[in-house]
Amino acid sequence: MSVEGTYKISADTPMGVMESTLILKTAGDELTGTMSAGFIGQVDFNGGKVEGSCFSFALTVKKFFKKIDISGHGRVEGDRISGRIITSYGESCFEGERV
């Protein structure tokens, strides 16, 4: 099954549980998308990669005069998604479902 789709995900971050919407779009092995989460707002990304049911991406959030680099990788199995998000504040696991 394709990783493409819209997912509601939840990540246990150093700042508490963060609910997000992750939209993934594919073109061959290229991944683009949008992440929308709480105070971060909506951030688009491109340059991600897809290999089978696995994916990776990176994006930069600019908020409150700060820049936060975020990278992530994960896997889609059926309508379930799971993975890891890495920031300068630490690493967090996420999971969710296709909506």
Q: Each residue of 31-44: pLDDT tens digit?
A: 999 988 877 788 88
Task: Express each pLDDT in 63-88 by its tens digit.
Answer: 778 888 889 999 999 999 999 989 88
The whole-number pLDDT of residue 1 equals 64
Written as six digits, the tokens of 2 are: 């394709």
Record the pTM.
0.87
The ranges assigned to domains in the chain are: 5-98
What is the architecture, at CATH level 2, of domain 5-98? Beta Barrel (2.40)
